[in-house]
Amino acid sequence: MTRPPTAAQRRVIDAADPVTGRLRGTQPQLAALVRRGLAFRHPRPPHDHFLTPAGHRIRETAAPEPPGSAAPPADSGVFTARVGGEEHPPQTGPARRREVHSAWQGLLELRRMTNTDGATDRPCGWERAHLVQAAALALEAAGHRPAGSDSGGYRVRATPQPEAVAVHEPDADALRACAGTLEGAGWQVGEYTEPRTRARYLLASPRRA
């Protein structure tokens, strides 16, 4: 289990810009956060430091309770976007919306950091290695409704095709809205018909340029 940040590191994380994750602190503090994977140093001047997605998740969690106080059981601490159809989905509400927003902003910073030209309008290497989660995060962050275990909404699924995911949504208008969101997030999207069921679905791939 990864040990929690120190009190000083936690103060730096909590003071980060709520949208961009930009950090302020001493160089030793920032370097320690980088070593732990909670922050990164931007490769271009002025070389500011920003929270990574893991750092954003720490920021969105409550600070540790004092010794001896009662605290709720901790979850895994790993953010997972809604792909739709989960048996035990996370609770909805303001806390979930903040968590999704934070994860999306962290992903944009990851794009800025890892795309060679610093572009944030197209997916990065992490997204190509985590296609389903990346597409689901783009949809959930834009406010689309994920499917419940037995209800309508989007479902993002892996496909046999390299670098492509399928997005299913029974409502035609909602399906087109999902396509618009993914295109705006830097994905190439096509609409197809499933041969057996005749249901329409999307096939989406990260855009490279």
Give the residue with greater pLDDT, 176 vs 17: 176
What pLDDT does residue 1 have? 40
What pLDDT does residue 22 have? 83
pLDDT at 31 over 60: yes
Please state the rounded mean pLDDT for residues 162-182: 96
Please state the rounded mean pLDDT for residues 69-98: 70
36: Cβ–Cβ under 8 A, 6 or more apart, which residues? Answer: 2, 5, 9
**Nearest-CA neighbor of 48 among 1, 118, 100?**
118
Most confident of 69-73, 120-124, 148-152: 120-124
d(CA 109, CA 168): 28
Mean pLDDT, the chain, integer: 85
**Nearest-CA neighbor of 189 among 173, 174, 204, 175?**
204
- Dihedrals phi, psi of 101, to nearest 5 degrees: -60, -45
d(CA 94, CA 99): 9
**Nearest-CA neighbor of 43 among 124, 138, 109, 135?**
109
At residue 75, what is the residue type? D
Instruction: Convert 135-171 to b/e letters by CB count within 10 Å (16 or more is b).
Output: bbbbbbbbebbbbeeeeebbbbbeeeeeebbbbbbee
Please state the rounded mean pLDDT for residues 163-172: 95
Q: Enter the DSSP assignment of 145.
A: P
Q: Is the peptide bond before 46 cis (omega within 30 degrees of 0)?
A: yes
What pLDDT does residue 120 have? 93
Give residue 70's pLDDT band: very low, low, confident or very high (50, 70, 90). Answer: very low
Give residue 140's pLDDT band: very low, low, confident or very high (50, 70, 90). Answer: very high
Among 36-40, 89-93, 150-154, 205-209, which stretch is predicted with the lowest mean pLDDT?
Answer: 89-93
Torsion of CA 58, 158, 89, 15, to 10 degrees: 20
C-alpha neighbours within 13 Å on the C-beta side of residue 78: 5
Q: At 153, is the secondary structure helix, strand, or coil?
A: coil
Give residue 204's pLDDT band: very low, low, confident or very high (50, 70, 90). Answer: very high
pLDDT at 25 over 50: yes
d(CA 78, CA 92): 16
pLDDT at 168 over 70: yes
Q: What is the pTM of this model?
A: 0.65
